[in-house]
Chain A
């Protein structure tokens, strides 16, 4: 039996994404179904691709002494981390010593810096890089820089398990607090891989969506009969997690509580998902949270809108939730924010957190005709605004077969940050 010393509360959220540069903007986009997907073009590629873009150059937010170390991935990670910490109203990691940690996920880290260097090496025949290049391109650059800026002195851990990277990071940070090793942790992920070489890597897989002719914002269509593939996005999302005792001591407001984490590997194929592994992660999360499948009120799907992937997850949902599947609202918000890769789990857990807090069911935008292989109780096209959500779950499935399920639950406490829908209307 695991020793459980504490509930783990979400006390801050920071986000830079194609559908919002703050938690308030994220909520507005979910409620208004605003897509952050547009055309992305490079002279090096033969055609434009749909991509989720933030569209802002953040380099002006850093000094010239800092910039040499900062790939765009680190820039957006640092700004999202700042935002989460500020949102939590917290200062003083230094006083926490080794009781504060940082758990981070990314797929490609400083890939633009690395690819630019390779280009200099191969084309310009440059034989020695700038001294900073190796540090700017490494996968753990962003968490290192965040830990230095905020004096986080406990575990600073980088995880890379493809599209479940930040899910593992959130889960491991959650466990570290729950099991008494830490009082608080900044958890999340970042990705800024909109470079021609990286996009062409995905193009090689023939997995990218075609631009929607009528409206490029509708190019990502999870679970839909006419889905054509995934849409790569950039973004960074962090959540501040704290033990209940720590949050109570400083009277912190809170968004919700992480109640369950399940992780399971397919052990099946490096590039093809497997229903059994996904279902195992979902069961593990339910068990971890001491919840029955029937208690889950909303499911945010990994569903990336690929032909092969979506039906596998739909089968895992049916297997896990059995007869409850006819009552379980499901959506994939990738339809509007696209696939944030290393930050995908983090944005989707933030979506679940808002669903629990504000009491609504986010939709799968543009879902008109559901693929029969993906038959579920879909929240189609428009969010349901009067949904009561006590427990929401999110699944992420990465290449390589690492599956992560996380459950966020309503925080029953007078300090709750947002009123429930019932309270809003009373």
Chain B
């Protein structure tokens, strides 16, 4: 099975954050910071754990820049999938 591309990963992330935290998809842009949409570091960690479960992969690289954006999170997932 081919790996999802960057757009598919971001769309999945948007959908997941909407379902999980009732966040408005309109505000979930690549440029939006985690802080601006109300996600703290522990919630992001929990999202990552769910991504691991859903995709059946282990995310070894969990490094995000300071004041990370949703685009950074999508890129992190892409990076890990490429390595797996």
Contact = CB atoms under 8 A, between A and B. Distances in A.
B71 to A, nearest CB: 20
B26 interface: no
Nearest to A135: B42
Interface in A93-130: 128, 130
A130 B22 contact: no
Interface in A130-152: 130-132, 135
A128 to B, nearest CB: 8
A65 B43 contact: yes
A203 interface: no
Interface string B45-59: 110010000000000
A68 B22 contact: no
Contacts of B23: 65
Contact of A65 (B21, B45, B49): B21
Grouping DSSP codes into helix (H, G, I), strand (E, B) and loop, the A interface class, with mixed when no group exceeds half, is loop
Contact of A132 (B21, B38, B42): B42
A191 to B, nearest CB: 26
B39 interface: yes
Contact of A64 (B21, B42, B49): B21
B22 A63 contact: yes
A145 to B, nearest CB: 13
Nearest to A67: B21
A68 B39 CA distance: 12
Contact of A131 (B20, B21, B42): B42
Contacts of A64: 20-22
Given A63-B22, A64-B21, A65-B21, A130 B49 contact: yes
Contacts of B46: 68, 130-132
Nearest to A63: B22
Contacts of A128: 49
Interface in A327-360: none
Scoring B22, B39, B42 by chain A CB atoms within 10 A of each residue's CB, the highest score goes to B42
Interface in A397-413: none
Contacts of A132: 42-43, 46
B30 to A, nearest CB: 20
Scoring A68, A131, A132 by chain B CB atoms within 10 A of each residue's CB, the highest score goes to A131
A132 B39 CA distance: 13
A138 B42 CA distance: 16
A64 B24 CA distance: 12
Nearest to B21: A64
B2 to A, nearest CB: 30
Contacts of B43: 65, 68, 131-132
Contacts of A135: 42
Contacts of A131: 42-43, 45-46, 49
A65 B39 CA distance: 7
Nearest to B37: A65
B57 to A, nearest CB: 16
A130 B46 CA distance: 6
A64 B43 CA distance: 11
15 contacts: A63-B22, A64-B20, A64-B21, A64-B22, A65-B22, A65-B23, A68-B42, A68-B43, A130-B46, A130-B49, A131-B42, A131-B43, A131-B45, A132-B43, A135-B42
